[in-house]
Chain A
């Protein structure tokens, strides 16, 4: 198995492999192996098969989801990125500073870099990108949220961008590392949205040549590539002539295409397939957990029965998650006990809270008044059954996860808890959440940095957007937690930030608002003819600048 290596790992293969192993060993099973054998070969086209829905727009400013980030990471680059230790480093930016009151952020932009349409990268170009993200016409949602604190901006000179903030935001640079805030040619952004969606123009090692809908996006080498960051394994341009980015929605077909050599790398690899592939010598595995939140089940505390903390605690002890993770994920996923992904340096875990203990669950439920049983064996209180509604999005929960929920349903029944699983398509699932028609829910959230905690657990996030969507799905409304999150997001003191975010995580874990499962799974399988795979962006999307095809 190969572990994901953020960008800077490419500089010192040996040293950083060691660091990566040390950093990541705690969160992912297996060991780091180097597949960078032999000398690099220039040429050849990599065929990448994506299992995600084909993006409607190749510009990740528009909307802003993970499939867009995956493909855009090949032709767009960001102001900041992450190194092997998870440390934020400048990329298209040269550096940044913030005023004493935290309200003015100055970003220095690198010189000597051009977009693939010949336009030069400068402060005005970055400003044009931020304006593009903030104007409603662009219909950005992820990037728009990330830049939400920006009040006004000014390109002071060619290399200096000054941002005035509405309130201090210490997550801004982390936000700058996400592909949804990547920097595009300002000249290209002036085209119509349809044109820009079809072929966004960036500074990356590849550029978009053509897009055949429902079939593939054709990327070709950027022959004028100047690597802005000195941390790559080689200088100059990419080894590959190009990348054919295919869309193969069926997991089994995708794997068959990899086995047949039609494609060299697939994403959304499923646990059973990974287990099968690890027995072969011709297919390799890249495990790149996404940053932000862990995959977790949120317990809706806004209504009965989970408005009672005893019932929340009882539920958590009534389900046997570890057994299911072991049997259904074939060792590809490690159990999490944190609201944050294990790739987040500030993630705090508390495994002692989440043990499987039906006896304790029974005591807690008795104490909470759920002490009678109906004819089906479920607990009741005042004649009502202890029943939990669990809408599950079939597009967000992979089959193994759906099976895990079913096993959870079975173990909860032993404690007299009924779980009603509703398998729904994404829009219907959003509909149920908007109507508060759920007791349990699992929703992924990818973001760089611990500020995702404020999105998920601040009481502000219980206020629905006009569409009915809100991110605080456990519906925690705790003024002391809000205060912690507010200060944690604004402080300039790194130690204080860590301390406050740790306290916030303790609060939501000890309040039994969530049941952490594992990192947001992000697995890739690739042919052994593909060498030097593993570099990823800050959001764990693979990049292929250093990758070559061994013919």
Chain B
């Protein structure tokens, strides 16, 4: 790690290291995508169930010999496994995600339809979690040992709550009992509130714990003392100095957090009947829809790789101590 003050964006004079950073990220990303594609390809074949039967309508329907054979030939399932594997890799490398067994349309079309709602859900979830965590951290730092203990308790409880339980409770309270919000996703923004809060709350608890500790440390540090000595108000110290410190672990964790939001989306999208990647992953796995499972996993992995790179970049911007490596 380079400890000089030359950070990535501030010094365009070091294009070599920036390119190296980008290349490293891209290489790592491609490796992750290959590993995901391979794990899915073999993993889904280890669980029992005939994909040809899945193609034929799955539950409640029985396919004839001719129909099964036709389906196998159409999707190349009659080929040896290694032929299928390399064929699959080649198609993926050339950008062909194949046709969904269960939906009978190109996987790329499914993803194009379902990626935006999931990104909106996860993005808003992350934003709301951040705001909640920061507010909680500021309040608990400002309000002495009792407030800190209460905030800490809240954080631990909310970070431990499972999504499906939280969703059910929120529906029962805000939809069935109070009638304020719809229990299912609707075209209006009101339909987004419960899903976003369900996703954000556990994450906010987790981020809040990390941020509060860092903020408390920063409040006690020498630079905070000197700022106070310069006549800075307590709020000013908090907002201008400590907050930046508290944000650092939050940014570092955001990549991980986004990943957890994507997995949380599987539960949240199903409960609130929201269209999205998570819900389609669930139904695709149930239906043994290999192309769709692969497509969703690759897109999620891709999004994760991008977010990790962004959070790395964000960390560099917020913390001048970290330079390009």
Contacts and interface: CB of A to CB of B under 8 A. Distances in A.
Nearest to B181: A260
Given A141-B64, A468-B50, A262 B57 contact: no
A256 B61 contact: no
A331 interface: no
A212 B185 CA distance: 13
Given A53-B283, A257-B182, A466-B65, A248 B273 contact: yes
Interface string A236-249: 00000000001111
A139 B71 CA distance: 7
B114 interface: yes
Contacts of B50: 427, 430, 467-468
B49 A141 contact: no
Interface string A57-76: 10000111110100000000
Categorize the interface residue count of chain B: 35 or more
Contacts of B324: none
Nearest to A141: B61
B68 interface: yes
B56 to A, nearest CB: 5
Contacts of B217: none
Contacts of A53: 59, 283, 286-287
A259 B59 contact: no
Interface string B29-53: 0000000000000000001111011
Contact of A194 (B105, B182, B271): B105
A225 interface: no
A175 to B, nearest CB: 15
A64 B171 contact: no
Given A213-B114, A214-B279, A262-B184, A141 B48 contact: no
A465 B65 contact: yes
A253 B171 contact: yes
Contacts of B57: 56-57, 62-65, 68, 139, 141-142
B62 A469 contact: yes
Nearest to B285: A425
Nearest to A424: B48
A391 B270 CA distance: 25
A371 B172 CA distance: 53
B183 A253 contact: yes
Contacts of A66: 60
Contact of B271 (A250, A259, A262, A395): A250
B102 interface: yes
Contact of B64 (A68, A247, A259, A465): A465
Interface residues of A, number: 58
A11 interface: no
B273 A139 contact: no
B103 A213 contact: yes
A56, A57, A257, A469: residue with the most chain B Cβ atoms closer than 10 Å: A56
B286 A425 contact: yes
Given A56-B102, A136-B69, A250-B271, A428 B286 contact: no
Given A139-B55, A139-B71, A253-B171, A64 B61 contact: yes
Given A253-B273, A259-B176, A262-B182, A137 B53 contact: no
A145 B65 CA distance: 12
A249 B62 contact: no
A123 B231 CA distance: 94
B307 interface: no
B280 interface: yes
Given A65-B59, A136-B69, A427 B186 contact: no
B115 interface: no
Interface in B53-97: 53-71
Nearest to A57: B104
Given A214-B283, A427-B50, 14 more contacts: A56-B101, A63-B58, A64-B61, A65-B57, A65-B61, A139-B70, A144-B64, A214-B280, A253-B271, A395-B286, A427-B58, A444-B60, A468-B50, A469-B62
22 contacts: A54-B283, A56-B101, A63-B58, A64-B57, A65-B58, A136-B66, A138-B67, A141-B57, A141-B62, A141-B63, A144-B64, A215-B273, A252-B171, A256-B172, A395-B59, A395-B286, A426-B59, A427-B48, A427-B58, A427-B288, A465-B68, A467-B63
